[in-house]
Amino acid sequence: MAHVLVVEDDQFVRSALIRHLTEAGHSVRSVGTALQALREVAQIGFDVVILDLGLPDLDGREALKMLRGVTDVPVIIATARDDEGEIVRLLNDGADDYLVKPFSVEHLSARMAAVLRRAGGNGANGQSGHGGTGGGDGVLRVGGLAVDPLRRLAQLDGTQLDLTRREFDLLAFLAQRPGVVVSRKELLTQVWRQSYGDDQTIDVHLSWLRRKLGETAARPRYLHTLRGVGVKLEPPV
Q: The domain containing residue 177 runs over which residues?
A: 125-233
Whole-number pLDDT of residue 126: 35
Looking at the structure, tell me whether residues 135 and 217 fall in a common domain: yes
C-alpha 123/C-alpha 212 separation (Å) is: 19
Looking at the structure, tell me whether residues 102 and 8 fall in a common domain: yes
Looking at the structure, tell me whether residues 154 and 87 fall in a common domain: no
Whole-number pLDDT of residue 123: 36
SS3 78: strand
Whole-number pLDDT of residue 41: 87
Looking at the structure, tell me whether residues 111 and 157 fall in a common domain: no
Residue that terminates a domain, selected from 121, 144, 175: 121
Say which CATH number the domain at 15 has.
3.40.50.2300
Looking at the structure, tell me whether residues 81 and 175 fall in a common domain: no
**pLDDT, tens digit, for every residue of 168-221?**
889 998 998 888 898 888 888 888 777 666 667 788 889 989 999 999 989 999
Is it the case that residue 80 has pLDDT exceeding 60? yes
Whole-number pLDDT of residue 195: 63
**pLDDT, tens digit, for every residue of 148-174?**
887 888 999 999 999 888 888 899 989
**pLDDT, tens digit, for every residue of 39-71?**
888 887 788 999 998 889 988 888 888 888 778
Output 124 or 162, whichever has higher pLDDT.
162
Looking at the structure, tell me whether residues 183 and 99 fall in a common domain: no
**Closest alpha carbon to 113 in 126, 97, 128, 124:** 97
Is it the case that residue 130 has pLDDT exceeding 60? no
Looking at the structure, tell me whether residues 38 and 63 fall in a common domain: yes
pTM exceeding 0.85: no
Whole-number pLDDT of residue 137: 58
Looking at the structure, tell me whether residues 26 and 110 fall in a common domain: yes
Query: Is residue 149 reached through a cis peptide bond, with omega within 30 degrees of 0 on the bond before it?
Result: no
The domain tally of the chain equals 2
Residue that terminates a domain, selected from 94, 121, 148: 121
Average pLDDT, the chain: 83
Is it the case that residue 81 has pLDDT exceeding 80? no
Of 82-86, 215-219, 225-229, the one with minimum mean pLDDT is 82-86
Is it the case that residue 224 has pLDDT exceeding 90? yes
Task: Specify burial of residue 84 (Cβ count, 10 A radius: 0-12, 13-18, 19+).
Answer: exposed
Looking at the structure, tell me whether residues 76 and 116 fall in a common domain: yes
Looking at the structure, tell me whether residues 116 and 133 fall in a common domain: no
Q: How far apart are the first and last CA of the chain?
A: 46
**Average pLDDT for residues 81-91, to the nearest whole number?**
81
Whole-number pLDDT of residue 197: 62
Q: How many Cβ atoms from other residues are within 10 Å of residue 68's Cβ?
A: 22
| Percentage of the chain modeled with pLDDT above 90 | 25
Q: What is the CA radius of gyration of the chain?
A: 19
Looking at the structure, tell me whether residues 91 and 189 fall in a common domain: no
Residue that terminates a domain, selected from 86, 121, 156: 121
CB 172 within 8 A of CB 126: no
